[in-house]
Structure 1
Amino acid sequence: MQTQHTSMDETPMFCFQCQEAAKGTGCTIKGVCGKTHDVANLQDLLLYSLKGIAWLAEHSVSPLPEPLEKEVALFITDALFTTITNANFDRDFFFHHIRLALELRDRIDETYSLATQQDVTLPHAATWSAQTDAELEQIAMTVGVRRTTNEDIRSLRELIMYGLKGMAAYTYHAEHLHYSSTEVDRFMRRALAATLDDTLSVSDLLALAMEAGKYGVDAMAMLDQANTSTYGHPEMTKVNIGVGQRPGILISGHDLHDMEQLLKQTEGTGVDVYTHSEMLPAHYYPAFRKYTHFVGNYGNAWWKQTSEFQSFNGPILMTTNCIVPPKDSYVDRLYTTGNTGYAGVKHIPAGSNGQPKDFSALIEQAKQCPPPTELEQGEIIGGFAHHTVLGLADQIAEAVQNGAIKRFFVMAGCDGRMKSRSYYTRFAEELPQDTVILTAGCAKYKYNKLPLGDIGGIPRVLDAGQCNDSYSLVVIAMKLQEMFGLENINELPISYNIAWYEQKAVIVLLSLLYLGVKNIHLGPTLPAFLSPNVVNVLVENFGIAGITSVEEDMHLLMEV
C-alpha cells in the first residue's frame, strides 16, 4: 500500500535517534551532535531511498540476480551505517549517495518490472525522482520520521530502523573481514520494506522488532567470529595510558581492519600508534600486540575528543562513528576514512582493487609533529571477552558458590556528555565489594580507571571490549546459565544497568530482549523515540525500566 506523501515543514529538521535528543523529545533546529538540518534531512532521504530499494527487491516475483542482490546488500549496509549518530556530517557525501541509491533503485526496478505482471501501486519511496540538488533538498524535507503520523506505529518503525542501523554497523565490520550472512542481509532488506507497509499493526511491528533482535544476535556472532578468526581471541592485557617520546598517530572509532593497515604501514617509521575511545580493545588482540610501536591508549571516551585531540599533537584517524565537529586547533591533523566524514576534513579513501588504504599522508605529517602531551600515567586492564572469561569459568563458579561473588552487573553501552551520566561512576563506586562489573563499549570509561580491586584475582571490572563485542556478554551469561544448571537466564545473579547513546545500543537491547532477558534498566534517559504506549508494552512484557537514584537502583538491582 502506498504511503501518503505529505510535507512536514514545521521545523527545519527532526531527529530523535540518540540519547541526547534535545529536551528529551527530538532535535528540530540542529542536532546536539552537531548535525545541521540539511544533513539531517539528506540522511532521511537516503534512508527513504533504501526503503524504496528494499520494497522493489522484496516484491519482485523473481529473485534479483545474485550479483545485484549482493550489491544491494552491501549498499544497504554501508548506507545505514553512514546515518548512525556522529558518523558522517558531510552534505556532499549524502548528495552523492542518494544519487547512487537512485541509480541502484532504477536497476532493481528493471528486474521488478520484468518479473512482476500484476498491477501494483508502488510506494512513493520506490518512484520519486529529482534532477537537481535543490529538488533533492525539497523532497528530503518531506520524508523524515514525522511522515508517519500514528505515534505508536512511528515509534515501532523507528525502533526497527535504529536496530537495523546497529545491525548494519556490525555487519559492515564483518564484511570488511570477508564474513557475511545472506540471512542477515535479507532480513535487513525485508525489515526496511516493512516500514513502508501501512497494513502492519502495532503487534506486527513488535514481532518484527523482536525478530530484529534475533538477527542482531546473528550479526554480532558473525562479527565475533570475523574478529577472533582474523586477529585471535582477546587476552587479558594491561594497557599503558601514558605517552612515549616519539611522535604518534591516534586512531579512534571502531574499525580493526583500519587498525591493522595502519600498524603495518607505520612499522619502522619512528611513529608510534595510540588508540582512543572504542579502539582501546585493539590492545587485547594478539595480532596487534606484536607491533612494538603500538604503545598505548590516549584519553577517554569519544565526547572528550575536542580537548584530547588538541593535546595529542599528532594526526588523528577517525575510522567510524563517534566523530564530533572538530576544533580549528586540530582540524588540519584530522583524517576520516570509511563511512565517516566531515566537510573540510581530509578523507582517506578505500584502496583500489582490494589494495590497502594509503596512510602515508598521516605518517608524513606525524613525523613533523611533537610527541603527545601526557594526560595521565598508569595502566588499565581489559581483554575479558568470552574466550578469556570462560577460561576462568571454574574460578568464577567457585567464587559464586562460596559467596565471594554475590552478583554480576552488566554495565555495558555508551558514554556521553550529559552530566547525569556521572550516575554510572557513582554506581560503580557504591557497588558492594562482592560484585563484578561486566562491560563492553565506551560506557566503561565511567569506571575503568577506578581502583575497584579484584576478588580472588578476578578483576571487579571485566571489560569484554568495544560495543561491537557485546556478544561476549551474551555468551558469558549463557555459559553461566549452563554452569549453574538454570532453566531461565533470568535466574542468574546478573543485573543489567545499561547506558545507551546511539543505534548500536538499540540492536544490543533488542538482542537481549529476543534472548528473554528481563528487568533491564536503561539510562540515563529512556529513548525519545519510544511512545508512551510502546514503553508500557516493554515494561509489561520485559520489565524495562529507567534509572532513578544510585541508592534506589542499587537496592532494587541487588534484589532482582
Structure 2
Amino acid sequence: MFCNQCEQASKGVGCTTVGVCGKTPEVAALQDLLLHQLKGIAAIAVAGAKVGVTDDVADEYVTGGLFTTVTNVDFDAEHLAGLIRRGAEVKSALRANVEAAGGVVPADDPSVAFEPAGDLAALVAQGEAVGIFSDHDRDENIQALQQTAVYGLKGIAAYADHARVLGHTDPSIYAFEHELLAALSDKDLYLDDWVGLALKTGEVNLRVMELLDAANTGAYGHPVPTSVPLGHRPNKAILVSGHDLKDLQELLEQTEGLGIDIYTHGEMLPAHGYPELKKHSHFYGHYGTAWQNQRKEFDEFPGAILMTTNCIQNPRDTYADNIFTTGRVAHPSAVHVENGDFKAVIDRALELPGFTDEVDGGSVMVGFGRNAVLSVAPTVIEAVKNGDIRHFFLVGGCDGAKPGRSYYTDFVDEAPADTVVLTLACGKFRFFDHQLGEIGGIPRLLDVGQCNDAYSAIKIAVALAEAFGVGVNELPLSMILSWYEQKAVAILLTLLHLGIKDIRLGPTLPAFITPAVLQVLVDNFDIKPIGESAGADLEAILGESAA
C-alpha cells in the first residue's frame, strides 16, 4: 500500500500499512485497480472521439469512478470490487462501438487489456501489482505533476457528479477526464506538458464549478443571508453531512409532517441559505462541526445520520447502526440507501429517541453567496474608499485532524477590526461561530458556502477587481487556504489557472509535491506555506499596522 493523496499522509510522505483515514490496504489496492480500469476506458474513449463516438454510460462511469477514489468516500472493498467488474462491461461495450466506427484502440496499453479477477483476494492482488498510477520510470517531478493533475481531476469528478445529478452536464468535461487519464500512458509527455495539463485541470474545474453553481441555484435559488440555530429542540432528528443538496431536498420532502427535524452537519450548513430548501419548517438547525469533534458528536446524536459525498472515518460500533450513506459513499459499517428512497433512514430516526430537551446554542449566519455580497457591492466599495475596510481575507478550505489548524482560528480572531473575512468550505468550522461584528452594517465574517461554492468567491473577487479597475492580484485581498483532499487540489489549480498569486497554503504542503515543482509554484505564483504564527503572517500582509 502507498497513498499520499491527502493532507493526512503519514509522516508527510504517505500511508504504507493502513491509511490514517482508516483505509485498509485492501481498499487502497482496489482503488488503485479502479483507477487502472478508468485509464483503459479513457484510452478507448479518446480513440472514439477521433471517429465521432461518445458514450454517456462511459462518461458517467469514469466520473463516478474518479469520485469514488476521493479520500473518505468509499471504504467498502466489496463495493469497489463490484465497480471494477462493472467497468469491464462498460469498457467492452465502448470498445465495440469505437472499433465498429473504425476507431483504433491502443493495443499495447495494459489498462485497455485489463480484465478483473474473479474473487476479491485476486482483485486485491491485481491492485497491488498495478500500484499507484504514476509511471515510476519517469522523472520524479513528472510523477509529482501527474499526481497533482489526477488528484485535481478527482475533485473535478466530484463536482461534475453533483451537477449531473441535477441534470447539468458538459461533454467537454468528460472529454478532459478521458484526455488526462489517457495521458498517463503517454511516454512522449514531459515536464512542460504536465505543467500544462495541471493548469488545464484548473481551467476545466472552473467550468465544472460554474456548472454546479448553475445546477444548485437553478434548482434551489440563490442563497440569501439566513440565521441558523446551533442548538436543538425536542423532536425526532436526522443529521445530514456532506454536500449533496438533492439528497437533502428529497429527505426534506419525504419527512414532511412526520415529526422529524432535519439538522445539517459539516459542509451541509450552507444549505440553510437556499430558498427552496429553507422553506421546509422542519429544516431546523446545525449540529456539530466538521472534524474536530466529529466522532464525539456522532456518538451523542440521538437520531439517524445520513452521510452524503464523504464517509465518516472509522465509525464507532456505538453508532454504526445509525449511519446511512448515499450515492458514491460506501462503508461496510453503514447502510447504503438507493434511488432517493430514504425510508430506512426515516424508520431508524423514528425508532431513536431524538432530542427530548431544548438547548439554545446561539446561531450563525450563512447565505453570503455572490448574489448576496454583490447586492451590497456599492456599500463595500465605498467602505474601502473611505478606509473603513482596509483588507479582505479569504480564509477557507478543508478542515482536518492534523495539529496546526488552530492557525486559522488565530488568524481570523487576530484580523484587525477594519478587515473582512470571507470563508467557505469546512475549514470555517474552526471559527464559524465567532462573533466578529460589523463594518457599516456588513458582517465582518461572510460565509460564502461549501467548497463547491468557490465559484462564488471567485466571482466576488473578479467583480470587485472590475469595480476598482484593477486585477485581482492588485485588490486588498489575501487568500489563506487550508487543504485536506482532492477537491482542494482542484480549486488551487483553478486559482493558479486564473493567475492568482501570493496564496498562503497549509497546514502542511502536499506530500506529492517535489521541491522542484514547489519551486516552480513559488517562482510563478509566489505560493507559500502558512507561517508559524498567524500574527506574523498578518503583519507581513498588512505591515506594521496589522494590530
TM class by shorter chain equals over 0.9
Per-residue deviation at 1:509?
A: 0.3
Query: Equivalent residue of 2:203, what SS?
Result: helix
Per-residue deviation at 1:420?
A: 0.8
Structure 1 residue 405 corresponds to structure 2 residue 389: yes
Structure 1 residue 181 corresponds to structure 2 residue 170: yes
Per-residue deviation at 1:369?
A: 1.7
Query: Equivalent residue of 1:529, what SS?
Result: coil
Q: Distance in 1 between matches of 2:325 and 2:472?
A: 41
Structure 1 residue 200 corresponds to structure 2 residue 189: yes
Q: Distance in 2 between matches of 1:274 and 1:186?
A: 38
Q: Distance in 1 between matches of 2:396 and 2:330?
A: 27
Structure 1 residue 475 corresponds to structure 2 residue 459: yes
Query: Equivalent residue of 2:353, what SS?
Result: coil
Structure 1 residue 552 corresponds to structure 2 residue 529: no
Q: 2:26 aligns with which of 38, 41, 59?
A: 38
Q: Distance in 1 between matches of 2:25 and 2:415?
A: 42
Where do residues 392-471 of structure 1 align in structure 2 (5 Å cutoff)?
A: 392-471=376-455
- Tell me if the contact between 1:302 and 1:322 (Cα under 8 Å) persists in the aligned partners: no
**Paired letter, 1:74:** E
Per-residue deviation at 1:437?
A: 0.9
Q: 2:90 aligns with which of 104, 108, 114?
A: 104
TM-score by length of 1: 0.93
Q: 1:538 aligns with which of 511, 515, 521?
A: 521
- Tell me if the contact between 1:61 and 1:116 (Cα under 8 Å) persists in the aligned partners: no
Tell me the C-alpha RMSD between the 2 structures.
1.7
* Count of residue correspondences: 539
Per-residue deviation at 1:142?
A: 2.2
Range 366-375 or range 297-306, more displaced? 366-375
CA deviation string 1:199-224 (max 9, x = no partner): 10011000011111111100000100
Q: Distance in 1 between matches of 2:49 and 2:74?
A: 36
Where do residues 159-238 of structure 1 align in structure 2 (5 Å cutoff)?
A: 159-238=148-227
After TM superposition, which residue ranges in structure 1, 4 or more long, deviate above 6 angstroms? 373-376
Per-residue deviation at 1:307?
A: 0.8
- Tell me if the contact between 1:44 and 1:140 (Cα under 8 Å) persists in the aligned partners: yes
Which residue of the partner structure matches residue 76 of structure 1? Answer: 62
Unaligned runs of 5+ in 1: 1-12, 351-356
- Tell me if the contact between 2:117 and 2:126 (Cα under 8 Å) persists in the aligned partners: no
- Tell me if the contact between 1:303 and 1:324 (Cα under 8 Å) persists in the aligned partners: no
Per-residue deviation at 1:147?
A: 4.9
Which residue of the partner structure matches residue 310 of structure 1? Answer: 299
Unaligned runs of 5+ in 2: none
CA deviation string 1:524-556 (max 9, x = no partner): 001111111111111111111111121221122
Which residue of the partner structure matches residue 508 of structure 2? Answer: 525
Per-residue deviation at 1:183?
A: 1.0
Query: Equivalent residue of 1:325, what SS?
Result: coil
Q: Distance in 2 between matches of 1:226 and 1:86?
A: 24
Per-residue deviation at 1:303?
A: 5.0
Per-residue deviation at 1:285?
A: 0.4
Structure 1 residue 491 corresponds to structure 2 residue 474: yes
Which residue of the partner structure matches residue 488 of structure 2? Answer: 505
- The structure-2 alpha-carbon separation of the partners of 1:188 and 1:130, relative to structure 1 and needing over 3 Å to count, comes to closer
Q: Distance in 2 between matches of 1:110 and 1:77?
A: 21
Range 318-327 or range 248-257, more displaced? 318-327
Q: 1:239 aligns with which of 228, 253, 267?
A: 228
Per-residue deviation at 1:65?
A: 4.0
TM-score by length of 2: 0.96
Query: Equivalent residue of 1:420, what SS?
Result: coil
- Tell me if the contact between 1:34 and 1:324 (Cα under 8 Å) persists in the aligned partners: yes
**Paired letter, 1:499:** S
- Tell me if the contact between 1:146 and 1:154 (Cα under 8 Å) persists in the aligned partners: no
Q: Distance in 1 between matches of 2:193 and 2:452?
A: 28
Range 216-225 or range 70-79, more displaced? 70-79
Which residue of the partner structure matches residue 280 of structure 1? Answer: 269
**Paired letter, 1:274:** Y
- Tell me if the contact between 1:64 and 1:111 (Cα under 8 Å) persists in the aligned partners: no
Per-residue deviation at 1:145?
A: 2.4
- Tell me if the contact between 1:408 and 1:437 (Cα under 8 Å) persists in the aligned partners: yes
Which residue of the partner structure matches residue 125 of structure 1? Answer: 111
Where do residues 266-277 of structure 1 align in structure 2 (5 Å cutoff)?
A: 266-277=255-266
Which residue of the partner structure matches residue 59 of structure 1? Answer: 47
